[in-house]
Amino acid sequence: MAQAAKASVPKENALGSAVQPLFAALITQTTASAVQLGLFQRLVKGPATARALARTAGAKERGVTMLLDALVATGQLERTDSLYRLPAAMQSVLEVPGVDPETYFADWLEHATALVASWSKLADVIRTGEPVNNIVEPSAAQQFFVSLVRMLFPGNYLTARALFEKTKGRFGRGEVDILDVACGAAPWSMAFAVGNRAARVTAVDFPPVLDVAMEFARIYGVEERFSFLPGDIGEVDLGKGEFDLALLGHICHSEGERRTRRLFRKTYRALKPGGTMAIADFVADDQRRGKDGGGFAILFALNMLVHTPEGATFTYPQYRAWAKEAGYRRSELVAVPAPSPMMLFYK
């Protein structure tokens, strides 16, 4: 008797593979709705039930419960029995000194809304090669980044604190001169200035963005050790042999290859012999297949396509080759609480 053929079970659900990205796109709207209803803002004060949150939002409990459960399912909230709470990671971000939760979520909503609108034109950008909104053009940049850098400050500050702890044997005591390139709200250098009371910082960015950095420097009580150098980082003279540490926090992806290689040469000249260039960015895996935590960087490259004429995301070997070209003699990766490790290059 012939054996019945075994039904082959596909390793992947073809329908699921097609539908999943569609529903993934809905996560942003789910989060945005929670912000609009004030749910995250209320949970900053402590855990609450769906009924209490619905009352605060002036909304129906049925819909609020569904929304809260979706936020739990996507890792944005936690629930114990009937109580919903912010995850510890988000709570720690909102507890960073100088962060106002209301402003933080308002800025988040503004940029999430703009991001969705820009990405809706992705196919057109791919056809034409022209970004929807060139955020690196000086006049646009000065408007775009003011609220963005304020929102990004707490997460980047916590990452910078971790970097400081791992490098404080070198930068944690004594006089250290720091160059913060495209500083934004200066979370990277702020962590070093707070950790080492003898550190001095020169922060470079557009004037309206530097106003935000000045505000945070006052909040952290380090304004007397901060100098502010206004201008476009591609044009500003960064000096020669003046700094022990140059910080490039999430700037290379918007600069693109050509401008990044030029920036590496400028920072090399600005550093003292033996100085260090530290880079934070979204680093793609070597084969650009989204492996080893590099998947977000691959996706983020499209964000640079939408918003810049040359921006992209790069691999560690690319960064290493450009640093060697600029004169840096060696490099290392430092693990920090971030999507990608910090890259350190030594003069």
Chosen CATH of 121-346 out of 3.40.50.150, 3.10.580.10, 1.10.10.10, 3.20.20.220: 3.40.50.150
The answer to whether 199 touches 225, Cβ cutoff 8 Å, is yes
> How many CA atoms within 13 Å lie on the side-chain side of 93?
19
Reduced to 3 states, what is the DSSP secondary structure of residue 215?
helix
For 203-251, how does the pLDDT look when each residue is reduced to its tens digit (9 = 90+)?
A: 999 999 999 999 999 999 999 999 999 999 999 999 999 999 999 999 9
Q: In the prediction, which pLDDT does 271 show?
A: 98
Distances (CA, A) of 104 to 41, 98, 100, 101: 9, 10, 6, 5
Q: Which residue has the tokens 């609020």?
A: 64
For 194-213, how does the pLDDT look when each residue is reduced to its tens digit (9 = 90+)?
A: 999 999 999 999 999 999 99
Residue 68 exposed, middle or buried by CB count within 10 Å (0-12, 13-18, 19+) = buried
For 155-199, how does the pLDDT look when each residue is reduced to its tens digit (9 = 90+)?
A: 999 999 999 999 999 999 999 999 999 999 999 999 999 999 999
Q: In the prediction, which pLDDT does 133 show?
A: 84
Q: In the prediction, which pLDDT does 18 show?
A: 60
Q: What is the DSSP letter of 222?
A: -
For 251-295, how does the pLDDT look when each residue is reduced to its tens digit (9 = 90+)?
A: 999 999 999 999 999 999 999 999 999 999 999 999 999 988 778
Q: In the prediction, which pLDDT does 3 show?
A: 47
Reduced to 3 states, what is the DSSP secondary structure of residue 267?
helix
For 297-343, how does the pLDDT look when each residue is reduced to its tens digit (9 = 90+)?
A: 999 999 999 999 999 999 999 999 999 999 999 999 999 999 999 99
Q: In the prediction, which pLDDT does 22 show?
A: 67
For 98-146, how does the pLDDT look when each residue is reduced to its tens digit (9 = 90+)?
A: 999 999 999 999 999 989 999 999 999 999 999 998 877 777 776 778 8
Residues contacting residue 20 through CB under 8 Å, at least 6 positions apart: none
CA 26, CA 24: separation in Å to the nearest integer?
Answer: 5
Angle among Cα 252, 317, 233 to the nearest 5 degrees reads: 20
Q: What is the b/e burial string over 257-280, where b = at least 16 CB atoms within 10 angstroms of the residue's CB?
A: eebbbebbebbbbbbeeebbbbbb
Checking if the pLDDT of 14 tops 90, the result is no
Residues of the chain with CATH 3.40.50.150: 121-346
Distances (CA, A) of 346 to 71, 165, 182, 287, 323: 43, 18, 20, 25, 9
For 36-79, how does the pLDDT look when each residue is reduced to its tens digit (9 = 90+)?
A: 999 999 999 999 999 999 999 999 999 999 999 999 999 999 99
Query: Read out DSSP for 85-137?
Result: E--HHHHHHHTSTT--HHHHHHHHHHHHHHHHHHHTTHHHHHHH---SS-TTS
Q: Name which residue leads in pLDDT, 12 or 247.
A: 247
Biggest CA pair distance of the chain: 90
Q: In the prediction, which pLDDT does 12 show?
A: 55
Q: Which residue has the tokens 């002036």?
A: 58
Residue 172 exposed, middle or buried by CB count within 10 Å (0-12, 13-18, 19+) = middle
Instruction: Name the pTM for this structure.
Output: 0.91
pLDDT classification of 147: cutoffs 50, 70, 90: confident
pLDDT classification of 10: cutoffs 50, 70, 90: low
Q: In the prediction, which pLDDT does 137 show?
A: 78
Residues of the chain with CATH 1.10.10.10: 14-95
Domain 14-95: state its class.
Answer: mainly alpha
Q: In the prediction, which pLDDT does 233 show?
A: 94
Strand 226-230, strand 199-205: pairing: parallel
Q: In the prediction, which pLDDT does 138 show?
A: 74
**What's the mean per-residue pLDDT of the chain?**
92
Angle among Cα 269, 164, 180 to the nearest 5 degrees reads: 35
Rg of the chain over CA atoms, in angstroms? Answer: 23
pLDDT classification of 4: cutoffs 50, 70, 90: very low
